[in-house]
Structure 1
Amino acid sequence: MNTKTISNSNLHFEHELWKLELLFWKDELKFFNNRLSELVTRYTKKEMLIQLEHFQNEFILHGGVIEDMLETIAVHEIRITGQLKSGADALDITLVKKHLDFRDKIEVQRAIYADLKKDFFKFLTKYM
């Protein structure tokens, strides 16, 4: 029987990868918002401003999701650190379940963010 071992160090490693990805998204959103600011000064048509507002709202919402996800990772890391300080590398089954659920959540968020970026780039191509 082939069993896979999940250790705290594996969870920590995946957390670090996720944090880097989320921080990258956060930086991208700054660039996207700067681009929106440029467009607001160029265009005054109502249709265009409605689309700009839509993207601005989406970027704000996604920024909030990023912050929530970073906070969730930080809470998980505190729990892992507590276990390691106690000398136990035994896995907390609840933490592992939350980790696996979070993995699913981040995969869904990747798809949502990729679609948002794709839509924004199409929008920029149309108006830039």
Structure 2
Amino acid sequence: MKEVIYNSDLHFEHKLWKSELEFWNDELKSFKNRLAELVTRWTDKEVLAQLEHFQNEFLLHEGVIEDMEETIEEHEMSISAHSDANHESMDVAMVKNHLELREKMETQRQIYADLKKEFFKFLSKYM
């Protein structure tokens, strides 16, 4: 027996991911504000190098978030077109695409969590 995956289920997961990505963007703005504060307090080259490292990481992560948002939107449009054609369940290729997107999201979640831990450790040392 095959499991049926409905468009509405995928749409719901997309909404969750979009909210999570939006939250990450907001957090990154706060983190960059912290960096700006620290730049004015420190002249030590090692600390400034670490600040630059985090600034670069945050910029990279913003790019990843933007890419993920675009990919989710593209997939959402595919689902919408599929729904418009009166297909309530997904075809194999679209489900495979969704599962790959879910895997990317899970990987990014771990990368972001690790970055936050590293940044908080840095803040507790230099704030």
TM (norm. structure 1) is 0.95
Given that 2:35 and 2:55 are in contact with CA atoms closer than 8 Å, whether structure 1 keeps it comes out as yes
- The CA distance in 2 between the partners of 1:79 and 1:104, in whole Å, is 19
Q: Where do 1:108-127 residues align within 5 Å?
A: 108-127=107-126
Please tell me the residue identity of whatever aligns with 2:72: I
Matched residues in 2 for 1:122 and 1:67: separation? 26
Structure 1 segments (4+ residues) deviating >6 Å:
none
SS of alignment partner, residue 87 of structure 2: coil
For 2:103 and 2:76, the matched residues in 1 are separated by 18
What amino acid is the match of 1:79?
A: S
Deviations 1:58-78 (A, max 9, x none): 000000000000000000011
Higher RCO by CA contacts (8 Å cutoff, separation 6 or greater): 2
Q: In structure 1, how many angstroms separate the alpha carbons of the residues matched to 2:95 and 2:8?
A: 12
The answer to whether residue 25 in structure 2 is matched with residue 20 in structure 1 is no
TM-score, normalization by structure 2: 0.96
Cα distance in 1 for partners of 2:17, 2:3 equals: 21
How many angstroms apart in 1 are the aligned matches of 2:53 and 2:20?
24
Q: How many corresponding residue pairs?
A: 127
Matched, 1:66 2:60: no
What is aligned with 1:35? 34
Match of 1:46 in 2: 45
What letter matches 1:11 in structure 2? L
1:94 pairs with 2:102: no
1:109 corresponds to which letter in structure 2? Q
Query: By how many angstroms is 1:4 displaced?
Result: 3.2
Q: Give me the identity figure in percent.
A: 64
The answer for unaligned runs of 5 or more in structure 1 is none
Counterpart contact for 2:4–2:89, Cα < 8 Å: no
**Paired residue type of 2:29:** K
Name the CA distance, whole Å, in 1 between partners of 2:116 and 2:3: 36
Distance in 2, Cα, partners of 1:81 & 1:4: 21
Deviation of 1:93 (Å): 1.7
Q: Which SS does the other structure have where 2:107 is aligned?
A: helix
Alpha-carbon RMSD across the aligned residues, in angstroms, is: 1.1
The answer for the alignment partner of 2:106 in structure 1 is 107
Give CA deviations for 1:82-128 in whole Å, capped at 9, x if unaligned. 11112222413211101001111111111100000000000000011
